[in-house]
């Protein structure tokens, strides 16, 4: 597992995460290589935790709890600002210092960051452009999965159709570009499933029969974090980065064209 570096400077590392790799280390990832361990192995983070700089006459007991929390989160997550599902490939931001980490997290919270995803889904999605705005929450009867449920958190995803495919064997498929305005877990996957257009080869929301069929021609979830735009935490300049569709997913699209 060797993520591709898309952008790097003294404050940021932006990588292209491969599919099949978990982002953060956890009890459930023992024995698995994660992006967090890869980042730690790069030794790009400060060796010792950086505490907030205090005015000369300030008592150490007056340290703000939110600043300490930021430092703990920064080192606890190895500077990884946000998450991608294990099966999803694409752009991931890593901060090299606590200040950049805090600023980028603020941008996500205030919805300054703009993200773009590509997905191939079952069915012919209509209309060609639209907004999906339904709440997403963890399913009470299956804590590992999420769904559209009453009392869930606000979730908004805008989308645009890029291409329709109508194959004799696989039926109708749609290549969709998606722009999530919120960052709920599994948001895009749940929203598309809710509309009746599950993502190709989705192991959680595609259904067992559909998954077995999909794996005959697409070996993994067809969801890719294609683009991201944010403000550089130090310079304030807009950074716009793009990740090309990986070869395995591009090959799927090529086969769909030739099979028509």
Q: What is the mean pLDDT of each run of 10 residues along the chain (260 residues)?
A: 91 97 85 90 74 47 58 90 96 96 96 97 97 96 92 97 94 97 97 98 95 96 98 97 97 86
> For residues 91 and 3, is the Cβ–Cβ distance under 8 A?
no
How far apart are the C-alpha atoms of 14 and 24, rounded to whole Å? 15
Angle, CA of 71, 108 and 201, to the nearest 5°? 110
- Note the pLDDT of residue 47: 66
The reported pLDDT for the residue numbered 69 is 63
In this prediction, residue 259 carries a pLDDT of 67
The pLDDT of residue 53 is: 45
Q: What local confidence, expressed as pLDDT, does residue 66 receive?
A: 59
Quote the number of domains for the chain.
1
User: pTM for the complete prediction?
Assistant: 0.90
pLDDT of residue 260: 61
Residue 178: strand pairing partners: 117, 159
Please pick, among 16, 85, 103, 214, the residue that the annotation labels catalytic: 85
CATH number, domain containing residue 151: 3.30.2350.10
- Among this protein's residues, is 85 annotated catalytic? yes
User: Cβ of 209: how many Cβ atoms within 10 Å?
Assistant: 8
pLDDT number for residue 54: 43
Can you tell me the distance from the alpha carbon of 40 to that of 53, in angstroms, rounded to the nearest whole number? 25
- CA separation for the pair 114, 225 (Å, rounded): 11
Question: What's the pLDDT at 57?
Answer: 46
- Specify the pLDDT at position 49: 54
Alpha carbon separation from 123 to 14, 50, 192 (Å, rounded)? 34, 51, 11
| Domain region containing 126 | 4-259
Distance CA 191, CA 79 (A): 29
């Amino acid at each position: 597992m060797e993520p591709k570096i898309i952008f790097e400077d003294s404050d940021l590392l932006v990588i292209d995460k491969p599919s099949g790799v978990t982002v953060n280390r956890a009890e459930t990832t023992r024995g698995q290589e994660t992006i967090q361990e890869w980042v730690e192995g790069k030794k790009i983070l400060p060796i010792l935790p950086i505490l907030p700089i205090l005015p000369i006459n300030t008592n150490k007991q007056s340290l703000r709890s939110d600043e300490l929390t930021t430092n703990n989160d920064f080192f606890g997550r190895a500077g990884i600002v946000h998450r991608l599902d294990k099966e999803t490939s694409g752009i991931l931001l890593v901060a090299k210092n606590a200040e950049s980490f805090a600023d980028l997290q603020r941008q996500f919270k205030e919805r300054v960051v703009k993200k773009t995803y590509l997905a191939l889904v079952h069915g012919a999605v209509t209309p060609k452009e639209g907004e999906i705005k339904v709440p997403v929450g963890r399913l009470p009867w299956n804590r590992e999965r999420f769904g559209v449920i009453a009392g869930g958190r606000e979730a908004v995803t805008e989308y645009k159709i890029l291409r329709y495919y109508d194959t004799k064997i696989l039926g109708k498929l749609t290549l969709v570009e998606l722009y999530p305005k919120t960052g709920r877990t599994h948001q895009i996957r749940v929203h598309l499933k809710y509309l009746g257009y599950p993502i190709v080869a989705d192991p959680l929301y595609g259904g067992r029969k559909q998954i077995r069929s999909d794996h005959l021609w697409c070996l993994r979830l067809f969801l890719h974090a294609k683009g991201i735009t944010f403000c550089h935490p130090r310079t304030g300049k807009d950074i716009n980065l793009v990740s090309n569709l990986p070869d395995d997913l591009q090959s799927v699209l090529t086969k769909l064209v030739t099979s028509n």
